[in-house]
Structure 1
Amino acid sequence: MRQNPARRAALLDAAIEVLAREGVRGLTFRAVDVEAEVPNGTASNYFSNRDDLLTQVGHRFYERMEPDPGILAAMLEGSRDREHVTRLMHELVERLSDFRSGYLALMELRLEATRRPELRRLLTERIRADLDFNIGNHLRSGMPGDRTTVILLYLALNWLILERLTLPGVFPDEQIHDLVTEAVAHALPAPGNPA
């Protein structure tokens, strides 16, 4: 197996694009080579088999979605109120929506995980760790709300992003801002206003 990290990343990025466009059935070593504009056989030098490629694509998506350290620092700046949480959720929805191919590739991986136990294990561990990180970060930062608040926002906003990227006519872009704001308001009522 080849070890050039930049080439491996480029191949994985190409695989994300193929997955988003063609689905799991279209993800072949040849398709990745074509998308990455590398010689035939390059991807097969980097990944031992298709399962290995799928697993590494899952890792690469999360690498690329790691929030900028500035975003994490911004979470600790300013007020600790519902408006601040709302701003952070708007940023999150935009960041994930802007990486359309990555998000759609992740959805393809999630569907494929129902048939591949190793991929299911990887995604379960990674998504659980990501959710636990977000819960811990939220609680440590002193933001209002609790563990359930974070879980409700995770569930609501993930589905909203999926709708936005796959069936944009269901909720047109001009509604997205208001829907994110309302999701936060319902998951995190204003002080003195019970849910």
Structure 2
Amino acid sequence: MLETDWMYKDYQITQAIDIHRRMVIFGECRSDDKPTAFLCGYYEPLLLKDAYSEMQTGDYLEMMELFLQRVQGQIDKVRAEQQEMDVPLDVITREMCVSYQENTGIRGQMVAIDPMRFRPEDRIGPKQIGYVIADQTPSKNSMVFRRLYDGREMCCFYGDILGVIKSEYQPDWAKEVVCQFEKNEKNRKGETR
């Protein structure tokens, strides 16, 4: 839980819990004309403008109860997402990887990203494991990888990589995804010739 001191209109946001890509916030109005006014809502920092949604006001106990319900709702969403994954969630550690040299090509390798680079609820194996698509980006100190669980392409710095996952620690589901990806790439390259 974050203790904060930012304002939303007349309300000082005193508590915020950041889970599942949005914050549940709690605030109080400290003006003389509203001594018992409290607020609960959602906050999402966006690129152009911060977004506040589902803002409600009331007395302390009802807003604190709503705050706790909304936090529980976010927890339930994370739990449901993880249960749908249907693969082991075990974290990949540095000991399960072979370190790499920054000047050594790692394109086409299965790598693990340091779990500390992710949000706390995303520090699970399926979100760490990627297949390196390009190991030299224009900045020369980062790489592009495809997260094997959901196919999302992402960029990260070499310092974010734990290493190339040792074959004995590569999950079977991830090996299958790599085989399918490589097969699709061969077919695609064959069609363009």
**Fold shared by both chains (TM-score > 0.5):** no
More helix per residue: 1
Structure having the higher Rg:
2
Q: TM-score range, shorter-chain basis?
A: under 0.3
TM-score under structure 2 normalisation? Answer: 0.26
More strand per residue: 2
Higher relative contact order (CA 8 A, sep 6+): 1
TM-score under structure 1 normalisation? Answer: 0.26
